[in-house]
Amino acid sequence: MSLNVIMLGPPASGKGTQAIRLAQARGIPKISTGDILREAGKAGTALGLKAKALMDRGELVSDEDMVNIVRERLTQADAKNGFILDGFPRTVGQAETLDRMLAGQPLAIIDLAVPDSELIHRMEDRRVCSKCGGNAEPGSAPTETCARCGGKMIMRADDGDQAVRQHRLEVYARESWPLLDYYRSRPTFRSINGAQAPEKVAAELSKAIDQMIPAAVRAGARDAR
């Protein structure tokens, strides 16, 4: 038995940061599709190379290939006690396949909910280092220079202008509703208020998982570290 978690949430919801925190706290890997695609490309597997070629041309990896790449990643040793998925599943088809892969093992689905106005505000404020690519610590005071390397902090290209930010949220809302619909009625689905301070979100998230997932599974994930 293992502790399996899916993290859902709009851009700038803090999903990636919370996924990393939870992964570290529970001793299981955080698996983001962006990371796996990069790893698979580097590892030089047939699927990885195919995915890399598509991405280099700016095209999307098909549902089927994405599922196979995730399947390959989930069979690696570090994921045997569980995983936290960030960015997958993205479609109902992928979610159905994941259910089949898990064959009845418990799956916690976390949706980080943040109002659009707050997300827009966060994207406006979000800065990334132009030199090392590091993000500013969430919640830290805005600075002109990177705390790590002294590089100039700039707005992320994909956070763009007001119209771009609004469009990203609309795309997310449109693409995520069928998936939320697929998961929402499950006893292991929780919507967490992501507009709170990161520490509060992490605490609520941890508590929700402890309530949803049987203690035996959680103990297993810890002991086997």
Sequence-distant (≥ 6) Cβ neighbours of residue 77 within 8 angstroms: none
Would you say 132 or 171 has its CB closer to Zn ion?
132
Least separation in angstroms between CB 144 and Zn ion: 12
- Residue pointed to by tokens 């943040």: 114
Beta strands across the sheet bearing 107-113: 30-32, 82-86, 3-8, 107-113, 189-193
Catalytic residue (one of 50, 52, 90, 222): 90
Catalytic residue among 71, 80, 148, 156: 156
User: In angstroms, rounded to a whole number, what is the distance separating the alpha carbons of residues 184 and 181?
Assistant: 5
Residue 74 or 129 with smaller CB distance to Zn ion = 129
Q: Please answer whether residues 66 and 31 qualify as being in contact, where contact means their C-beta atoms are separated by less than 8 angstroms.
A: no
Which run of H or E residues covers position 120? helix 116-125
> Between residues 146 and 202, which has the closer beta carbon with respect to Zn ion?
146
126 is catalytic: yes
Shortest approach of Zn ion to residue 126 CB, angstroms?
A: 15
Catalytic residue among 30, 165, 168, 218: 168
How remote is the C-alpha of 51 from its chain's centroid? 19
CB closer to Zn ion, 148 vs 186: 148
Is 90 labeled as catalytic in the residue annotation? Answer: yes
Neighbours of 9 (CB within 10 A): 23
The Cα–Cα gap between 30 and 37 comes to 14
- Catalytic site includes residue 156: yes
Taking the complex as a whole, the smallest distance from the CB of residue 162 to Zn ion amounts, in Å, to 27
Residues binding Zn ion (CB under 5 A): 129, 131-132, 134, 146, 148-149, 151
Catalytic residue among 15, 73, 122, 127: 15
**Residues marked as catalytic:** 15, 90, 126, 156, 168
